[in-house]
């Protein structure tokens, strides 16, 4: 892990008041970023945004309404009009629970296909920024540190080998009673990686000031502890530079 975190002053809103801190956690599919980000949010009692769920909701809504994944204008309208509620981990779409539905494999693949469209991404950006409320936010996704919250207090880019990610995913699905081959999972993960890193709009890549966190040989608790340590160090550095910040 590299240790160069910028200790920027807390960003200010339009009225000059400091904006709540953001911890941006980006990384590829099944890298563990969601579990890490949720654990950090719990430990620090901050809000949590799983930005991938928004792309999943657009894909689910498209599947339900017969909109093709390459119909960018229609998808952007769906994204702008999503009727969604987030309550403590439960997600409601059009008034009905969609928490499990958005995790299905066809929705996962669809999410990375709707996410290539610039107008879909733009339609979702303010919805994501609205999660930034006191006392602060931990946001996970692909472009939290590069596009949505470029002024995040710390940016972490979580990686793990594709084989390790497929193995973790396999274990999760088997525990849920879903049978799937490792070969199929590895292929899906590689396809999603290629789409996420190769797209023109907000491609998956570490922000220049992100800390790389390779979790291939780390437990979730170890990874969470590293992010907490980085955050505390960044806050301490700012306080030492400007005790009034």
Q: For residues 230 and 156, give the distance between their C-alpha atoms in angstroms, rounded to a whole number.
A: 9
**Least CB distance from residue 56 to ligand C5P, whole Å?**
6
Sign of CA dihedral 193, 198, 199, 204: positive
**Least CB distance from residue 93 to ligand C5P, whole Å?**
15
184 φ/ψ sector (left φ>0, alpha ψ -120 to 50, else beta): alpha
* CB closer to ligand C5P, 195 vs 237: 195
Count residues binding ligand C5P (CB under 6 A).
13
**Contacts with ligand C5P in 101-130 (CB under 6 A)?**
111-112, 115
Structural contact between residues 202 and 144, judged by C-beta atoms closer than 8 angstroms: no
193 binds ligand C5P (CB under 6 A): no
Q: Pick the closest to residue 231 from 39, 52, 50 (CA basis).
A: 39
**Least CB distance from residue 232 to ligand C5P, whole Å?**
25
**Contacts with ligand C5P in 143-182 (CB under 6 A)?**
143
Helix (DSSP H) and strand (DSSP E) numbers for the chain: 8, 8
**Least CB distance from residue 230 to ligand C5P, whole Å?**
20
The tokens of 70 are what? 């390459």
**Which residues lie near ligand C5P (CB under 6 A)?**
29, 51-52, 55-56, 111-112, 115, 141-143, 192, 196
């Amino acid at each position: 892990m590299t240790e160069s975190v910028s200790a920027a002053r807390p960003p200010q809103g339009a009225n000059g008041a400091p904006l709540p801190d953001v911890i941006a956690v980006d990384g590829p599919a099944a890298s563990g970023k969601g579990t890490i980000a949720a654990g950090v949010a719990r430990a620090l009692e901050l809000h949590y945004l799983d930005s991938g769920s928004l792309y999943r909701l657009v894909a689910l809504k498209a599947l339900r309404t017969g909109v093709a994944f390459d119909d960018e204008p229609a998808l952007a309208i769906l994204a702008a009009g999503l009727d969604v509620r987030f309550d403590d981990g439960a997600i409601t779409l059009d008034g009905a629970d969609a928490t499990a539905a958005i995790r299905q494999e066809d929705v996962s693949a669809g999410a990375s296909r709707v996410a290539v469209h610039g107008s879909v991404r733009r339609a979702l950006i303010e919805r994501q920024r609205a999660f930034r409320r006191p006392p602060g936010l931990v946001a996970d996704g692909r472009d939290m540190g590069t596009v949505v919250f470029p002024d995040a207090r710390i940016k972490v880019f979580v990686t793990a080998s594709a084989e390790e990610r497929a193995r973790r995913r396999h274990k999760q699905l088997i525990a849920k009673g879903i049978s799937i081959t490792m070969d199929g999972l590895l292929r899906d993960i590689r396809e999603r990686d290629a789409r996420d890193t190769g797209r023109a709009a907000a491609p998956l890549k570490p922000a220049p000031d992100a800390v790389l966190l390779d979790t291939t040989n780390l437990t979730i608790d170890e990874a969470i502890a590293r992010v907490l340590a980085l955050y505390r160090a960044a806050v301490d550095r700012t306080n030492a530079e400007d005790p009034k910040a």
